[in-house]
Structure 1
Amino acid sequence: MTAHVIEFQTGKGLPKEAFEQIAPMVSEGRLVVFPTEISYVVGGDAFNQQTVSRVRAFQHDAQGPLALYISSITEFRLYVAPVVPRLRRALERCLPGPYGVIVRATQAAPRACVSSAGTIEVHMPASQSYQMFYEASGRPLVGVKLDTTRREDVLERFGEQADLIVLTNEPMSPQHYALIDFTQDPPQALQGELPRWL
Protein backbone atom coordinates (compact mmCIF):
# COMPACT_ATOMS: atom_id res chain seq x y z
CA MET A 1 0.00 0.00 0.00
CA THR A 2 1.30 3.46 -0.88
CA ALA A 3 1.63 5.91 2.01
CA HIS A 4 -0.66 8.91 2.25
CA VAL A 5 1.54 12.04 2.08
CA ILE A 6 0.82 15.35 3.82
CA GLU A 7 2.95 18.43 3.15
CA PHE A 8 3.68 20.96 5.89
CA GLN A 9 4.65 24.46 4.74
CA THR A 10 6.36 26.73 7.28
CA GLY A 11 4.20 29.70 8.16
CA LYS A 12 1.09 28.16 6.63
CA GLY A 13 0.42 25.27 8.98
CA LEU A 14 -1.56 22.23 7.95
CA PRO A 15 -4.64 22.47 5.74
CA LYS A 16 -7.83 21.70 7.70
CA GLU A 17 -8.48 18.50 5.75
CA ALA A 18 -4.93 17.28 6.39
CA PHE A 19 -5.22 18.13 10.09
CA GLU A 20 -8.40 16.05 10.31
CA GLN A 21 -6.80 13.05 8.58
CA ILE A 22 -3.95 12.66 11.05
CA ALA A 23 -5.83 11.80 14.29
CA PRO A 24 -7.78 8.83 12.87
CA MET A 25 -4.67 7.36 11.26
CA VAL A 26 -2.67 7.59 14.48
CA SER A 27 -5.50 6.29 16.69
CA GLU A 28 -6.03 3.35 14.32
CA GLY A 29 -2.43 2.27 14.85
CA ARG A 30 -1.02 3.32 11.49
CA LEU A 31 2.73 3.62 10.92
CA VAL A 32 3.68 7.28 10.49
CA VAL A 33 6.81 9.16 9.44
CA PHE A 34 6.88 12.64 10.98
CA PRO A 35 9.34 15.56 11.14
CA THR A 36 11.31 17.06 14.02
CA GLU A 37 14.00 19.76 14.04
CA ILE A 38 16.67 17.01 14.01
CA SER A 39 15.47 14.47 11.44
CA TYR A 40 12.46 12.46 10.38
CA VAL A 41 11.11 9.84 12.79
CA VAL A 42 9.16 6.64 12.11
CA GLY A 43 6.58 5.93 14.79
CA GLY A 44 2.99 5.90 15.93
CA ASP A 45 0.62 5.61 18.90
CA ALA A 46 2.64 4.79 22.02
CA PHE A 47 -0.22 2.79 23.55
CA ASN A 48 -1.07 0.66 20.51
CA GLN A 49 0.74 -2.69 20.70
CA GLN A 50 0.38 -3.39 16.99
CA THR A 51 1.96 -0.04 16.16
CA VAL A 52 4.74 -0.64 18.66
CA SER A 53 5.57 -3.95 16.98
CA ARG A 54 5.76 -2.29 13.57
CA VAL A 55 7.98 0.51 14.86
CA ARG A 56 10.35 -1.96 16.54
CA ALA A 57 11.22 -3.37 13.11
CA PHE A 58 13.16 -0.15 12.44
CA GLN A 59 15.08 -0.22 15.71
CA HIS A 60 18.65 -1.53 16.04
CA ASP A 61 17.71 -3.39 19.23
CA ALA A 62 14.32 -4.87 18.40
CA GLN A 63 13.65 -5.73 22.06
CA GLY A 64 14.88 -2.48 23.59
CA PRO A 65 12.67 0.38 24.76
CA LEU A 66 11.39 2.87 22.20
CA ALA A 67 11.73 6.64 22.56
CA LEU A 68 8.66 8.59 23.67
CA TYR A 69 7.64 11.73 21.75
CA ILE A 70 5.42 14.28 23.50
CA SER A 71 4.77 18.03 23.24
CA SER A 72 4.24 19.58 26.68
CA ILE A 73 5.73 19.83 30.14
CA THR A 74 2.37 18.64 31.49
CA GLU A 75 2.79 15.34 29.63
CA PHE A 76 6.42 15.19 30.71
CA ARG A 77 5.39 15.37 34.36
CA LEU A 78 2.81 12.64 33.81
CA TYR A 79 5.31 10.14 32.41
CA VAL A 80 8.50 11.15 34.24
CA ALA A 81 9.27 10.66 37.93
CA PRO A 82 10.08 13.84 39.91
CA VAL A 83 13.71 14.94 40.07
CA VAL A 84 15.51 17.34 42.40
CA PRO A 85 14.77 21.03 41.68
CA ARG A 86 18.18 21.77 40.14
CA LEU A 87 17.84 18.95 37.62
CA ARG A 88 14.19 19.81 36.98
CA ARG A 89 15.15 23.34 35.96
CA ALA A 90 17.82 21.97 33.62
CA LEU A 91 15.39 19.46 32.12
CA GLU A 92 12.76 22.09 31.49
CA ARG A 93 15.39 24.26 29.81
CA CYS A 94 16.21 21.37 27.46
CA LEU A 95 12.59 20.83 26.50
CA PRO A 96 11.15 21.54 24.07
CA GLY A 97 14.29 21.39 21.97
CA PRO A 98 16.67 19.21 19.96
CA TYR A 99 17.43 16.84 22.83
CA GLY A 100 16.48 13.42 24.03
CA VAL A 101 16.57 12.96 27.80
CA ILE A 102 16.92 9.77 29.83
CA VAL A 103 14.88 9.97 33.04
CA ARG A 104 13.00 7.72 35.47
CA ALA A 105 9.55 6.65 34.26
CA THR A 106 6.28 6.71 36.18
CA GLN A 107 3.65 3.97 36.11
CA ALA A 108 1.69 6.03 33.57
CA ALA A 109 4.46 5.84 30.97
CA PRO A 110 3.89 3.61 27.91
CA ARG A 111 5.41 0.20 28.72
CA ALA A 112 7.04 0.01 25.28
CA CYS A 113 9.21 2.98 26.25
CA VAL A 114 10.36 1.85 29.70
CA SER A 115 13.67 0.02 30.10
CA SER A 116 14.30 -2.86 32.49
CA ALA A 117 16.00 -0.29 34.74
CA GLY A 118 12.83 1.81 34.84
CA THR A 119 14.17 4.61 32.66
CA ILE A 120 12.60 6.27 29.63
CA GLU A 121 13.97 8.29 26.70
CA VAL A 122 11.80 11.35 26.12
CA HIS A 123 11.79 13.80 23.20
CA MET A 124 9.84 17.05 22.95
CA PRO A 125 10.79 18.59 19.60
CA ALA A 126 10.33 22.34 19.25
CA SER A 127 9.83 22.47 15.49
CA GLN A 128 6.61 24.03 14.25
CA SER A 129 5.89 21.11 11.94
CA TYR A 130 6.27 18.55 14.75
CA GLN A 131 4.09 20.57 17.11
CA MET A 132 1.36 20.87 14.46
CA PHE A 133 1.54 17.15 13.70
CA TYR A 134 1.43 16.25 17.39
CA GLU A 135 -1.53 18.53 18.04
CA ALA A 136 -3.39 16.85 15.19
CA SER A 137 -2.46 13.34 16.34
CA GLY A 138 -3.68 13.87 19.88
CA ARG A 139 -1.62 10.92 21.15
CA PRO A 140 1.75 10.26 22.81
CA LEU A 141 4.01 8.70 20.19
CA VAL A 142 6.78 6.14 20.07
CA GLY A 143 9.46 6.69 17.49
CA VAL A 144 12.78 5.68 15.98
CA LYS A 145 14.94 8.58 14.79
CA LEU A 146 15.95 8.20 11.15
CA ASP A 147 19.34 9.19 9.76
CA THR A 148 17.86 11.47 7.14
CA THR A 149 16.57 14.99 6.74
CA ARG A 150 15.81 14.58 3.02
CA ARG A 151 12.21 14.21 1.94
CA GLU A 152 13.33 12.25 -1.13
CA ASP A 153 14.97 9.64 1.11
CA VAL A 154 11.83 9.36 3.24
CA LEU A 155 9.58 8.85 0.23
CA GLU A 156 11.91 6.28 -1.31
CA ARG A 157 12.35 4.27 1.89
CA PHE A 158 8.87 4.54 3.39
CA GLY A 159 6.57 5.19 0.46
CA GLU A 160 5.47 1.54 0.52
CA GLN A 161 6.07 0.78 4.22
CA ALA A 162 4.43 3.64 6.11
CA ASP A 163 0.73 4.47 6.13
CA LEU A 164 1.23 8.22 6.53
CA ILE A 165 4.20 10.47 5.74
CA VAL A 166 4.26 14.06 6.95
CA LEU A 167 6.83 16.10 5.02
CA THR A 168 8.07 19.59 5.84
CA ASN A 169 10.10 22.39 4.31
CA GLU A 170 11.23 23.43 7.79
CA PRO A 171 15.05 23.18 8.14
CA MET A 172 16.48 20.30 10.20
CA SER A 173 19.79 20.42 12.11
CA PRO A 174 20.94 16.94 13.18
CA GLN A 175 24.25 18.39 14.41
CA HIS A 176 22.43 20.03 17.33
CA TYR A 177 21.13 16.73 18.70
CA ALA A 178 22.22 15.33 22.05
CA LEU A 179 20.95 12.45 24.17
CA ILE A 180 21.40 13.38 27.83
CA ASP A 181 21.18 11.02 30.79
CA PHE A 182 19.50 12.83 33.68
CA THR A 183 19.54 9.76 35.92
CA GLN A 184 23.15 10.72 36.66
CA ASP A 185 24.25 13.77 38.59
CA PRO A 186 25.75 15.66 36.92
CA PRO A 187 23.93 14.67 33.70
CA GLN A 188 25.99 12.91 31.03
CA ALA A 189 25.80 13.12 27.23
CA LEU A 190 25.33 9.64 25.72
CA GLN A 191 25.26 11.08 22.19
CA GLY A 192 26.33 14.52 21.01
CA GLU A 193 27.53 17.19 23.43
CA LEU A 194 26.04 18.69 26.56
CA PRO A 195 24.69 22.23 26.18
CA ARG A 196 27.22 24.75 27.50
CA TRP A 197 24.79 26.01 30.10
CA LEU A 198 24.27 22.55 31.64
Structure 2
Amino acid sequence: MTIVIPMRAGPDERLKVAARLIVEGKLVAFPTETVYGLGADALNERAVRRIFEAKGRPADNPLIIHIAESEWLFELAREVPEVALRLAERFWPGPLTLVLPKGEKVPSVTTGGLDTVAVRMPAHPIALELIRLSGRPIAAPSANISGKPSPTEADHVVDDFYGRIECIIDGGPTPIGVESTVLDLTGEVPVLLRPGGLPLEDIERVIGRVDVHPAVKGIEVNLAKAPGMKYKHYSPNAQVILVEGPREAVRRKMEEIVEEFRSRGLKVGVMATEKYDADAFFHLGESMEEVARNVFRALRELDKAGVDVILAEGIEERGLGLAVMNRLRKAAGYKVIRADKLK
Protein backbone atom coordinates (compact mmCIF):
# COMPACT_ATOMS: atom_id res chain seq x y z
CA MET A 1 0.00 0.00 0.00
CA THR A 2 1.40 3.36 -1.03
CA ILE A 3 0.24 6.57 0.64
CA VAL A 4 -0.01 9.52 -1.79
CA ILE A 5 0.04 12.88 0.01
CA PRO A 6 -1.03 15.89 -2.10
CA MET A 7 0.87 18.94 -0.90
CA ARG A 8 0.60 21.49 -3.72
CA ALA A 9 0.42 24.50 -1.37
CA GLY A 10 3.62 23.65 0.49
CA PRO A 11 4.48 21.79 3.73
CA ASP A 12 1.74 21.04 6.27
CA GLU A 13 1.00 18.67 9.15
CA ARG A 14 0.70 15.66 6.82
CA LEU A 15 4.45 15.86 6.21
CA LYS A 16 4.96 14.44 9.72
CA VAL A 17 3.55 11.13 8.45
CA ALA A 18 6.22 10.97 5.73
CA ALA A 19 8.97 12.01 8.15
CA ARG A 20 7.96 9.23 10.54
CA LEU A 21 8.22 6.73 7.70
CA ILE A 22 11.80 7.91 6.98
CA VAL A 23 12.70 7.40 10.66
CA GLU A 24 11.20 3.89 10.49
CA GLY A 25 13.45 2.97 7.55
CA LYS A 26 10.75 3.23 4.89
CA LEU A 27 10.93 4.76 1.38
CA VAL A 28 9.38 8.15 0.61
CA ALA A 29 9.33 9.84 -2.81
CA PHE A 30 9.36 13.63 -2.56
CA PRO A 31 9.76 16.69 -4.79
CA THR A 32 12.94 18.71 -5.00
CA GLU A 33 13.61 21.74 -7.17
CA THR A 34 15.31 19.46 -9.72
CA VAL A 35 13.38 16.15 -10.00
CA TYR A 36 11.49 13.87 -7.58
CA GLY A 37 13.74 11.87 -5.28
CA LEU A 38 13.29 8.39 -3.78
CA GLY A 39 14.38 8.93 -0.20
CA ALA A 40 15.52 6.88 2.79
CA ASP A 41 17.58 7.51 5.92
CA ALA A 42 21.11 7.82 4.50
CA LEU A 43 22.67 6.34 7.65
CA ASN A 44 20.36 3.31 7.79
CA GLU A 45 22.08 0.63 5.71
CA ARG A 46 18.99 -1.57 5.39
CA ALA A 47 16.80 1.35 4.28
CA VAL A 48 19.37 2.44 1.68
CA ARG A 49 19.55 -1.09 0.27
CA ARG A 50 15.80 -0.91 -0.31
CA ILE A 51 16.37 2.11 -2.61
CA PHE A 52 18.69 0.03 -4.80
CA GLU A 53 16.23 -2.89 -4.79
CA ALA A 54 13.19 -0.73 -5.64
CA LYS A 55 14.94 1.06 -8.51
CA GLY A 56 16.87 -1.93 -9.83
CA ARG A 57 19.94 0.27 -9.42
CA PRO A 58 23.48 -1.16 -9.64
CA ALA A 59 25.11 -1.27 -6.19
CA ASP A 60 28.20 0.65 -7.37
CA ASN A 61 26.15 3.69 -8.47
CA PRO A 62 26.49 6.16 -5.54
CA LEU A 63 23.59 8.08 -3.99
CA ILE A 64 23.36 11.77 -3.14
CA ILE A 65 22.66 12.66 0.48
CA HIS A 66 20.25 15.56 1.06
CA ILE A 67 20.64 17.74 4.15
CA ALA A 68 18.73 20.65 5.70
CA GLU A 69 21.57 22.47 7.49
CA SER A 70 25.10 23.22 6.29
CA GLU A 71 26.50 22.02 9.64
CA TRP A 72 25.44 18.46 8.76
CA LEU A 73 28.18 18.48 6.12
CA PHE A 74 30.81 18.11 8.84
CA GLU A 75 29.13 14.92 10.13
CA LEU A 76 29.02 13.31 6.69
CA ALA A 77 32.39 14.33 5.24
CA ARG A 78 35.84 13.54 6.62
CA GLU A 79 37.21 16.83 5.31
CA VAL A 80 35.41 20.01 4.26
CA PRO A 81 37.74 22.32 2.28
CA GLU A 82 37.29 26.07 2.23
CA VAL A 83 36.08 25.98 -1.37
CA ALA A 84 33.18 23.75 -0.29
CA LEU A 85 32.11 26.29 2.30
CA ARG A 86 32.26 29.10 -0.25
CA LEU A 87 30.11 27.16 -2.68
CA ALA A 88 27.63 26.14 0.02
CA GLU A 89 27.29 29.73 1.20
CA ARG A 90 26.65 30.95 -2.33
CA PHE A 91 24.51 28.16 -3.84
CA TRP A 92 22.77 26.28 -0.99
CA PRO A 93 19.93 25.60 -0.79
CA GLY A 94 20.09 24.82 -4.49
CA PRO A 95 20.90 22.31 -7.25
CA LEU A 96 24.59 21.80 -6.43
CA THR A 97 26.01 18.51 -5.11
CA LEU A 98 29.49 18.49 -3.58
CA VAL A 99 31.66 15.35 -3.60
CA LEU A 100 33.96 15.15 -0.56
CA PRO A 101 35.94 12.51 1.39
CA LYS A 102 33.46 10.20 3.17
CA GLY A 103 32.99 10.43 6.91
CA GLU A 104 32.84 7.34 9.17
CA LYS A 105 29.10 7.70 9.84
CA VAL A 106 28.14 7.11 6.23
CA PRO A 107 27.55 3.44 5.29
CA SER A 108 29.50 2.14 2.32
CA VAL A 109 26.24 1.12 0.59
CA THR A 110 25.17 4.79 0.40
CA THR A 111 28.33 5.78 -1.47
CA GLY A 112 28.43 2.80 -3.82
CA GLY A 113 31.52 1.49 -2.03
CA LEU A 114 33.49 4.67 -2.69
CA ASP A 115 35.56 6.62 -0.16
CA THR A 116 33.74 9.80 -1.19
CA VAL A 117 30.31 11.15 -0.31
CA ALA A 118 27.99 13.33 -2.41
CA VAL A 119 25.96 15.92 -0.48
CA ARG A 120 23.52 18.70 -1.33
CA MET A 121 20.90 20.93 0.31
CA PRO A 122 17.73 21.03 -1.83
CA ALA A 123 15.89 24.32 -2.37
CA HIS A 124 12.37 22.86 -2.38
CA PRO A 125 10.42 23.73 0.82
CA ILE A 126 8.81 20.28 1.03
CA ALA A 127 12.18 18.51 0.73
CA LEU A 128 13.80 20.73 3.35
CA GLU A 129 10.93 20.33 5.82
CA LEU A 130 10.87 16.54 5.34
CA ILE A 131 14.58 16.37 6.19
CA ARG A 132 14.15 18.66 9.22
CA LEU A 133 11.13 16.78 10.58
CA SER A 134 12.84 13.40 10.22
CA GLY A 135 16.09 14.69 11.70
CA ARG A 136 17.90 12.43 9.26
CA PRO A 137 20.09 13.09 6.22
CA ILE A 138 18.14 11.56 3.34
CA ALA A 139 19.77 9.57 0.53
CA ALA A 140 17.70 10.15 -2.58
CA PRO A 141 18.40 9.27 -6.19
CA SER A 142 15.76 10.20 -8.77
CA ALA A 143 12.45 8.40 -8.15
CA ASN A 144 12.35 6.36 -11.36
CA ILE A 145 13.11 2.79 -12.36
CA SER A 146 16.85 2.70 -13.04
CA GLY A 147 17.68 3.71 -16.60
CA LYS A 148 14.32 5.36 -17.31
CA PRO A 149 13.60 9.11 -17.65
CA SER A 150 13.71 10.98 -14.36
CA PRO A 151 10.37 12.05 -12.81
CA THR A 152 9.37 15.72 -12.77
CA GLU A 153 5.77 15.14 -11.64
CA ALA A 154 4.25 12.91 -8.96
CA ASP A 155 2.32 10.99 -11.63
CA HIS A 156 5.67 9.85 -13.07
CA VAL A 157 6.57 8.39 -9.66
CA VAL A 158 3.15 6.75 -9.35
CA ASP A 159 3.70 5.10 -12.75
CA ASP A 160 7.00 3.59 -11.61
CA PHE A 161 6.51 2.89 -7.90
CA TYR A 162 2.89 2.79 -6.77
CA GLY A 163 2.47 -0.29 -4.57
CA ARG A 164 6.24 -0.73 -4.27
CA ILE A 165 7.14 2.05 -1.80
CA GLU A 166 5.43 3.42 1.31
CA CYS A 167 4.78 7.06 0.41
CA ILE A 168 4.70 9.54 -2.48
CA ILE A 169 4.45 13.26 -1.74
CA ASP A 170 2.78 15.14 -4.60
CA GLY A 171 4.27 18.62 -4.63
CA GLY A 172 3.38 19.42 -8.24
CA PRO A 173 5.82 19.78 -11.16
CA THR A 174 9.47 20.36 -10.27
CA PRO A 175 10.69 23.84 -11.28
CA ILE A 176 14.11 23.00 -12.81
CA GLY A 177 13.53 19.59 -14.41
CA VAL A 178 17.11 18.22 -14.59
CA GLU A 179 19.11 16.83 -11.69
CA SER A 180 21.67 18.72 -9.64
CA THR A 181 25.13 19.70 -10.83
CA VAL A 182 27.77 17.42 -9.26
CA LEU A 183 31.19 18.88 -8.43
CA ASP A 184 34.13 16.80 -7.16
CA LEU A 185 36.21 18.72 -4.60
CA THR A 186 38.58 15.90 -3.61
CA GLY A 187 41.44 16.96 -5.90
CA GLU A 188 43.52 20.08 -6.41
CA VAL A 189 41.17 21.42 -9.10
CA PRO A 190 37.38 21.05 -8.84
CA VAL A 191 35.95 18.66 -11.46
CA LEU A 192 32.47 18.76 -12.97
CA LEU A 193 31.20 15.17 -12.82
CA ARG A 194 27.64 15.87 -13.97
CA PRO A 195 26.15 19.07 -15.43
CA GLY A 196 22.80 19.96 -13.94
CA GLY A 197 20.49 22.64 -12.63
CA LEU A 198 23.31 25.00 -11.69
CA PRO A 199 25.23 26.10 -14.80
CA LEU A 200 29.00 25.57 -14.86
CA GLU A 201 29.46 29.25 -15.77
CA ASP A 202 27.87 30.32 -12.45
CA ILE A 203 30.24 28.09 -10.47
CA GLU A 204 33.34 29.34 -12.28
CA ARG A 205 32.37 32.93 -11.53
CA VAL A 206 32.68 32.09 -7.83
CA ILE A 207 35.69 29.73 -7.64
CA GLY A 208 37.48 30.09 -10.97
CA ARG A 209 38.60 27.20 -13.17
CA VAL A 210 36.68 23.92 -13.09
CA ASP A 211 37.81 20.87 -15.06
CA VAL A 212 35.14 18.87 -16.91
CA HIS A 213 35.20 15.09 -16.54
CA PRO A 214 35.28 13.21 -19.90
CA ALA A 215 32.07 11.37 -18.91
CA VAL A 216 30.15 14.65 -19.27
CA LYS A 217 30.68 14.46 -23.05
CA GLY A 218 30.13 10.71 -23.25
CA ILE A 219 33.53 9.07 -22.67
CA GLU A 220 32.97 5.70 -20.96
CA VAL A 221 34.16 5.35 -17.34
CA ASN A 222 34.77 2.27 -15.21
CA LEU A 223 34.40 3.98 -11.82
CA ALA A 224 31.35 6.18 -11.20
CA LYS A 225 32.16 8.94 -8.71
CA ALA A 226 28.70 10.44 -9.14
CA PRO A 227 25.24 9.27 -10.24
CA GLY A 228 24.72 9.04 -13.98
CA MET A 229 28.37 8.66 -14.98
CA LYS A 230 28.64 4.96 -15.75
CA TYR A 231 25.32 3.44 -16.76
CA LYS A 232 22.75 4.06 -19.48
CA HIS A 233 20.24 6.60 -18.19
CA TYR A 234 17.02 8.46 -18.96
CA SER A 235 15.92 6.08 -21.73
CA PRO A 236 12.26 5.52 -22.66
CA ASN A 237 11.08 2.32 -24.35
CA ALA A 238 11.21 3.96 -27.80
CA GLN A 239 14.52 4.34 -29.62
CA VAL A 240 15.91 7.87 -29.15
CA ILE A 241 17.97 9.58 -31.85
CA LEU A 242 19.60 12.94 -31.17
CA VAL A 243 20.24 15.29 -34.10
CA GLU A 244 22.94 17.93 -33.57
CA GLY A 245 24.27 20.78 -35.68
CA PRO A 246 23.28 24.24 -37.00
CA ARG A 247 19.59 24.97 -36.45
CA GLU A 248 18.42 24.94 -40.10
CA ALA A 249 20.52 21.90 -40.94
CA VAL A 250 19.06 20.07 -37.94
CA ARG A 251 15.52 20.87 -39.06
CA ARG A 252 16.07 19.56 -42.58
CA LYS A 253 17.80 16.43 -41.33
CA MET A 254 15.01 15.70 -38.82
CA GLU A 255 12.31 16.17 -41.47
CA GLU A 256 14.23 13.78 -43.71
CA ILE A 257 14.52 11.17 -40.93
CA VAL A 258 10.83 11.46 -40.01
CA GLU A 259 9.87 10.83 -43.64
CA GLU A 260 12.25 7.87 -43.89
CA PHE A 261 10.99 6.13 -40.74
CA ARG A 262 7.32 6.73 -41.57
CA SER A 263 7.84 5.28 -45.06
CA ARG A 264 8.92 2.08 -43.27
CA GLY A 265 5.70 2.02 -41.26
CA LEU A 266 7.23 3.24 -38.01
CA LYS A 267 5.50 5.71 -35.69
CA VAL A 268 7.75 8.74 -35.07
CA GLY A 269 7.72 11.26 -32.22
CA VAL A 270 9.64 14.54 -32.20
CA MET A 271 10.71 16.70 -29.24
CA ALA A 272 11.93 20.12 -30.33
CA THR A 273 11.67 23.88 -29.85
CA GLU A 274 9.68 24.36 -33.07
CA LYS A 275 6.79 22.47 -34.68
CA TYR A 276 7.30 19.30 -36.77
CA ASP A 277 4.92 17.14 -38.75
CA ALA A 278 5.21 13.79 -36.97
CA ASP A 279 2.97 11.11 -35.44
CA ALA A 280 3.50 12.74 -32.03
CA PHE A 281 5.11 16.06 -31.16
CA PHE A 282 6.23 17.66 -27.88
CA HIS A 283 7.11 21.36 -27.83
CA LEU A 284 10.06 21.76 -25.47
CA GLY A 285 9.63 25.53 -25.12
CA GLU A 286 11.44 28.67 -26.21
CA SER A 287 13.87 29.39 -23.37
CA MET A 288 16.66 27.16 -22.04
CA GLU A 289 14.81 27.02 -18.69
CA GLU A 290 11.65 25.69 -20.38
CA VAL A 291 13.60 23.08 -22.33
CA ALA A 292 15.31 21.81 -19.16
CA ARG A 293 11.98 21.70 -17.33
CA ASN A 294 10.34 19.70 -20.13
CA VAL A 295 13.01 17.29 -21.40
CA PHE A 296 12.15 14.30 -19.17
CA ARG A 297 8.41 14.94 -19.44
CA ALA A 298 8.75 14.90 -23.23
CA LEU A 299 10.51 11.52 -23.21
CA ARG A 300 7.81 10.02 -20.98
CA GLU A 301 4.85 11.49 -22.88
CA LEU A 302 6.15 10.49 -26.31
CA ASP A 303 6.69 6.99 -24.95
CA LYS A 304 3.09 6.91 -23.74
CA ALA A 305 2.00 7.98 -27.24
CA GLY A 306 3.33 4.63 -28.44
CA VAL A 307 5.94 5.88 -30.89
CA ASP A 308 8.67 3.57 -32.15
CA VAL A 309 11.30 6.29 -32.53
CA ILE A 310 11.84 9.63 -30.77
CA LEU A 311 13.84 12.30 -32.59
CA ALA A 312 15.35 14.89 -30.27
CA GLU A 313 16.56 18.30 -31.43
CA GLY A 314 20.03 19.24 -30.18
CA ILE A 315 20.46 22.62 -28.48
CA GLU A 316 23.36 24.92 -27.68
CA GLU A 317 25.57 23.70 -24.84
CA ARG A 318 25.60 26.83 -22.71
CA GLY A 319 24.02 27.34 -19.32
CA LEU A 320 21.41 24.67 -18.71
CA GLY A 321 21.94 23.48 -22.29
CA LEU A 322 25.01 21.50 -21.19
CA ALA A 323 22.87 19.48 -18.75
CA VAL A 324 20.07 18.99 -21.30
CA MET A 325 22.45 17.72 -23.97
CA ASN A 326 24.15 15.41 -21.46
CA ARG A 327 20.74 13.85 -20.66
CA LEU A 328 19.68 13.60 -24.30
CA ARG A 329 22.94 11.90 -25.34
CA LYS A 330 22.48 9.36 -22.55
CA ALA A 331 18.81 8.83 -23.44
CA ALA A 332 19.90 8.14 -27.01
CA GLY A 333 22.63 5.75 -25.91
CA TYR A 334 24.96 8.21 -27.68
CA LYS A 335 23.24 7.55 -31.02
CA VAL A 336 23.82 11.02 -32.49
CA ILE A 337 23.36 12.19 -36.06
CA ARG A 338 25.31 15.25 -37.17
CA ALA A 339 23.55 17.71 -39.48
CA ASP A 340 26.44 19.98 -40.32
CA LYS A 341 25.61 20.93 -43.89
CA LEU A 342 22.56 22.09 -45.79
CA LYS A 343 21.80 20.33 -49.05
**Shorter-chain TM-score: what band?**
0.7 to 0.9
Secondary structure at the aligned position of 2:140 is classed as strand
List aligned pairs for 1:1-198, cutoff 5 A.
Answer: 1=1, 3-10=2-9, 12-14=10-12, 16=13, 18-57=14-53, 58=55, 60-114=57-111, 116-146=113-143, 147-169=150-172, 171-175=174-178, 177-192=180-195, 193-194=199-200, 195-197=203-205, 198=207
Distance 1:136 1:170 in 2: 23
Distance 2:46 2:115 in 1: 22
Give the C-alpha shift of residue 60 in structure 1.
Answer: 3.7
Contact 2:31/2:127, CA 8 A, preserved across alignment: yes
Question: For each residue in 1:101-122, what CA deviation from the matched residue of structure 2 results, as whole angstroms up to 9, or x when unmatched?
Answer: 1111222334333454521011
Give the C-alpha shift of residue 97 in structure 1.
Answer: 0.9
- Tell me: CA distance 1:117–1:175, structure 2 relative to 1, closer, same or farther (3 Å): closer
- Tell me: CA distance 1:145–1:49, structure 2 relative to 1, closer, same or farther (3 Å): same
State which drifts further: 134-143 or 37-46: 134-143
Equivalent residue letter for 2:118: E
| Aligned alpha-carbon RMSD (Å) | 2.2
Equivalent residue letter for 1:47: L
Taking CA–CA contacts closer than 8 Å with sequence separation of 6 or more, which of the two structures ends up with the larger relative contact order? 1
Identity score, percent: 25
Question: For each residue in 1:49-82, what CA deviation from the matched residue of structure 2 results, as whole angstroms up to 9, or x when unmatched?
Answer: 3211110122642244322121111111211233
Equivalent residue letter for 2:11: G
TM-score after normalising by structure 1: 0.86
Give the C-alpha shift of residue 26 in structure 1.
Answer: 1.2
Give the C-alpha shift of residue 170 in structure 1.
Answer: 5.9
* Structure 1: tracts of 5 or more residues without a match: none
Equivalent residue letter for 2:7: F
Contact 1:59/1:144, CA 8 A, preserved across alignment: no
- Tell me: CA distance 1:153–1:64, structure 2 relative to 1, closer, same or farther (3 Å): closer
Give the C-alpha shift of residue 130 in structure 1.
Answer: 0.9
- Tell me: CA distance 1:103–1:154, structure 2 relative to 1, closer, same or farther (3 Å): same
Contact 1:46/1:112, CA 8 A, preserved across alignment: no
Contact 1:129/1:170, CA 8 A, preserved across alignment: no
- Tell me: CA distance 1:185–1:133, structure 2 relative to 1, closer, same or farther (3 Å): same
Distance 1:111 1:164 in 2: 25
Give the C-alpha shift of residue 165 in structure 1.
Answer: 0.6
Distance 1:50 1:87 in 2: 30
Question: For each residue in 1:126-146, what CA deviation from the matched residue of structure 2 results, as whole angstroms up to 9, or x when unmatched?
Answer: 111211222222211112124
Distance 1:105 1:118 in 2: 5
Distance 2:51 2:110 in 1: 12
2:238 alignment counterpart: none
Contact 2:45/2:110, CA 8 A, preserved across alignment: no
Distance 1:86 1:54 in 2: 34
Identify the structure with the greater strand proportion: 1
Distance 1:153 1:32 in 2: 14
TM-score after normalising by structure 2: 0.52
Distance 2:56 2:34 in 1: 17
Equivalent residue letter for 1:132: E
Contact 1:46/1:140, CA 8 A, preserved across alignment: yes
